[in-house]
Structure 1
């Protein structure tokens, strides 16, 4: 049976599945944890991918300034890596950024090759003081951050 994967805006009913997906990454130390309350509060910023009614991927946009948004909480269920799902979610988030008329989209990531393949460029994270002062000041890796910053200019 072939099923179709679709991307859509997240709904409040997605919070538990989002929490479980993000928590799996957070336990590995590769994504910041998000509480159920925070997910519900920011549900409008999330895009989810689903297959046969099951949430299999997610990502969100967070506004860091008038001209900059960040891709956050980009992840997928086991068995879906390398199948184009991440690109599908990132493309949905890029379209969202374009609709918001934001000219730059960035991410902090360990998956540099994935973002470069999707048109992002590696940059110094220090060029994003908005990010540093919003999240990095609260991160346990603040003084030893090993994530790489990437950016894409939207036209």
Structure 2
């Protein structure tokens, strides 16, 4: 069943709900935590999904190089998963990448099937030195990373 979700760019009014949503995933070890200060600094990189007046999902786009962006902090509130909201967020992030004329979009994920369903292909994460040297170097899982890299080429 699909929920009627509307995606929009995040605003500073969304910071608290974003912080709570991301913290829930971070506590499970499946998403890197983001402080409220970081969210405030990076709010222009986030999109949110709303059902009615409730923000029920988020995702962000981080530039890793001239031709590459990464989907980060993609999450859906409990009770709203499996309704197509994640795919709508990915579609919105793809639109954002295209508007920035960036030809490649990647993610590190545990949800490979979800990304494959959205047109991504599994790739070797070592093809992204931009990611490895900017973020992975500080990650507690850097020597035992179990996330899968996925990539989509944009037209």
- Structures share a fold, TM > 0.5? yes
In the alignment, what sits opposite 1:81? 81
In the alignment, what sits opposite 1:144? 144
Question: Which structure 2 segments of 5+ residues have no match?
Answer: none
**SS state at 1:143 partner:** coil
Question: Which structure 1 segments of 5+ residues have no match?
Answer: none
Q: Which runs of 4+ in 1 moved over 4 A?
A: none
RMSD, aligned CA:
0.8
In the alignment, what sits opposite 2:10? 10
Counterpart CA distance in 2 for 1:124 and 1:82 is: 27
TM-superposed deviation, 1:81: 1.2
Counterpart CA distance in 2 for 1:129 and 1:147 is: 15
TM-score, normalised by the number of residues in structure 2: 0.97
Q: How many residues align?
A: 153
Counterparts of 1:32-47 in structure 2 under 5 Å?
Answer: 32-47=32-47
In the alignment, what sits opposite 2:55? 55
In the alignment, what sits opposite 2:135? 135
**SS state at 1:32 partner:** coil
TM-score, normalised by the number of residues in structure 1: 0.97
TM-superposed deviation, 1:78: 0.2
